[in-house]
Structure 1
Amino acid sequence: MRTVGVEEELLVVDGDGRPVPLGPDALTVAARRGEGEDAAEHDRADREDEEPDAASAAHLMPELKAQQIELGTAVCPTLDQVDAELRFWRGRAQAAAASVGAHVAALATSPVAVEPVPTQGERYGRMLDAFALTAREMLTCGCHVHVSVADEDEGIAVLDRIRIWLPVLTALTANSPFWQGADSGYASFRSQAWNRWPSAGPNEVFADAASYHRLVDDVLATETVLDTGMVYFDARLSDTWPTVEVRSADVALRVEDAVTLAGVVRGLVETAARDTDPPPEVPARILRLAAWRAGRSGMTGDLVHPRTGRPAPAADVLGDLLEHVRPALADAGDDQRVSEGIAAILRRGTGADLQRRIHAATGGDLTAVVRSAVEITTAQATASRTG
Structure 2
Amino acid sequence: MADRTAIDTIKGYFYQFDYAIAKLLELQTDTDTIIVEGIEDVDINTATEEIAVQCKYYAKTEYNHSVIAKPIRLMLDHYKEVTNGTKKRINYKLYGYFQSGQTKLTLPINSTFLKDHFLTYSEKKVKYYHHTKHSLTDTQLDDFITLLDINISALEYQSQVSKISNLLMTQFGCNSFEAENFFYNNALKVIKDIAIESNIAKRKISKSEFLTKINFKRVLFNEWFVTYKGQSKLFAELRGQYFTGLNISPYERLFIIEIPNTNYVRAELKDLILTISRKWSKLSAREPHTFCPYIYLHNILPQELLELKKELFSEGFLFIDGFDFDGSDFNPKSISKQANSSNSIKIKILNKIEHIDLTIGEISKTREIYQFYNTNPFFDISYPNVKQAQIQFSKLTDINKII
User: TM exceeds 0.5?
Assistant: no
Q: TM-score, normalised by structure 2?
A: 0.26
Q: TM-score, normalising length from structure 1?
A: 0.27
Q: Please identify which structure carries the higher helix content.
A: 1
Tell me which protein shows more strand as a share of its residues.
2
Structure with the larger RCO, 1 or 2 (CA within 8 Å, 6+ apart): 1
